[in-house]
Amino acid sequence: MAAQPPLPVLLTRPRAQAEAFAAKLPETLAPVISPLLRIVPQEGIVAAPAEVTLIFTSANGVASYPAATDGARQTALCVGARTAEQARAAGFDAHSADGTAEDVLALALTRPGPFLHIRGAHARGEITERLRAAGKEAQDCIAYDQLPCPLSDAARAALTGPCLVPLFSPRTASLFATECPAAPAAQIFAMSTAVARALDGSAYAGVETLKTPTAAAMRAALLVYGAGNRLETGRSSG
Q: Mean pLDDT per 10-residue run, the chain (238 residues)? A: 77 93 91 95 91 93 86 86 92 91 93 94 86 96 94 97 94 95 96 92 93 89 75 40
- Helix residue ranges per DSSP H, the chain: 15-22, 59-64, 81-89, 101-108, 127-133, 153-158, 170-179, 193-197, 215-226
With vertex at residue 173, the alpha carbon angle to CA 179 and CA 146, rounded to the nearest 5 degrees, is 85
pLDDT of amino acid 233: 40
From-to residues of CATH 3.40.50.10090 in the chain: 39-146
pLDDT of amino acid 163: 94
pLDDT of amino acid 72: 66
Q: Cα-flanking dihedrals φ and ψ of residue 148, to 5°?
A: -65, 150
pTM of the model: 0.79
pLDDT of amino acid 1: 40
CATH class of the domain defined by 39-146: alpha beta
Q: Which is nearest to 125 in space by CA: 102, 143, 142, 146?
A: 102
pLDDT of amino acid 3: 60
Q: How far apart are CA 221 and CA 26, in angstroms?
A: 12
Q: What is the CATH number of domain 7-36+149-237?
A: 3.40.50
**Burial class (CB within 10 angstroms; exposed 0-12, middle 13-18, buried 19+) of 182:** exposed
